[in-house]
Structures are given as structure tokens and as C-alpha cells.
Amino acid sequence: MASSDPVFHTNPMSRGRIVRWMLEELGIEYTTVVQDYGTGMKSPEYLAINPMGKVPALEHRGVVITEAAAICAYLADAFPQAGLAPAADDPLRGPYLRWMFFAAGPVEAAVTANSLGLLPPAEKAGFVGYGSFEQTMDALEQAAASASPWLLGDHFSAADVYVGSQVDFGLAFKSIPERPAFTAWAERLRAREAYQRARAKDDALMPAKD
């Protein structure tokens, strides 16, 4: 383990699972620091890393990156040998960024609002970034249906990790509707070795059940 390896702040019951999967896809060395809810995450030491007091966060090469989507995109660029992001001059960089931002913005916001019963009235759809929950799910379904086998075609990328995680978590927590395109893509994602390695590592960190 070199001192230049990323330091990954997480909790096994969090969006940190997305970043763990990304780290495992890269196949790199990294240090895991588990932050406890309420205590570790709100400590002055951790708030100096992420003033939101939330996980995941990544420390690497003297900078801090927060936001699961940004961490996945950062890691894909920082470790280009893994080929998990189209290069800046590749047209596929367009859809790659499109779906990453769509999932981190409209999808996250729509799913959260729907789960909390806080969806805005239909007449405000033009004002709301995600329009409506249904509209966002329909667009996400189109993306999932186009994944053949991956979001960018043959090229598995960080967008499959991040956008795919929204679908995977959404199906598991029943926060998105079960549609064939979601299920088929999620099944392909769950079959990946790195996904399974990440899951096993996080499951091993879960508190023991009485």
C-alpha cells in the first residue's frame, strides 16, 4: 500500500458502496476508513474532510472529492489504464457525462422526493429539474434499454457503475419501478466480478446481527 493510494471514507450502509464497486473495477490498492453514522461522520476531523458530514469521500493526491458520481468520474480519469471513461476527444464522452449527471441530478432528486412523498404538483413540472418522477423513470428506462450490453455499448464505463447503481439500489429498495430494462441491466451489472468483490467487502463490514 503506497501513501499515494486513495483513502476511501465510507460506511457499508451508504452510497459508499457505489464507490467501493468503482475502486474494485479499477483493481487498485486503496485504504478504507469506516465512518460511523452520527459520531465519526460528524467529528471535527471528518467535517474538515467533508463539511456535509456524509460519506462517501475520497482523499487522493492532496485533494478531497465528495459526491459519489464525482468520485467515480474522478477515479476513472485518474486511473485511465482501466479504460473506464471515454477520453475527452471521444464522442462517447458526451453520453458518458450526460447519463452521469442525469443520474446524480434528476434521478437522485426524483427518487428521493418520491420516497419521501414530497413530489411537487404536476403543474410545476416545467420548473422542476426532473420534471416528474414518471418522466425521469421513462428517460432512465430508455438509457437502461439502450445498454447493450453497457450504457456506452461494448465499452463498460464509470457510467455503468454510477447510473447502474441507481438502478440496482432502486430495484433492491423498491424506490424505482420494476421494469424489464432495469432488471436486465442490473442482472448484467451484478454478475461482474468487481461488483461481487465490492459487495463482499462491504457485507463483511456490516454490524453483526443479534
Which residue number, 67 or 202, has a Cβ lying nearer to ligand GSH? 67
Spatial neighbors of 48 by CB under 8 A, at least 6 apart, are: none
Minimum separation from the CB atom of position 64 to ligand GSH (A):
12
Distance between CA 159 and CA 102 in Å, rounded?
Answer: 10
Which residue number, 40 or 155, has a Cβ lying nearer to ligand GSH? 40
DSSP 152: B
3-state secondary structure 79-131: CHHHCCCCCCCCCCHHHHHHHHHHHHHHHHHHHHHHHCCCCCCHHHCCCCCCC
Which residue number, 68 or 140, has a Cβ lying nearer to ligand GSH? 68
Which residue number, 59 or 145, has a Cβ lying nearer to ligand GSH? 59
Minimum separation from the CB atom of position 29 to ligand GSH (A):
22
Q: Is 131 in the site for ligand GSH (CB under 6 A)?
A: no
User: In the window 42-71, what residues touch ligand GSH (CB under 6 A)?
Assistant: 53-56, 67-68
Q: Which amino acid is located at 39 in the chain?
A: T
Contact set with ligand GSH (CB under 6 A): 14-15, 37, 41, 53-56, 67-68
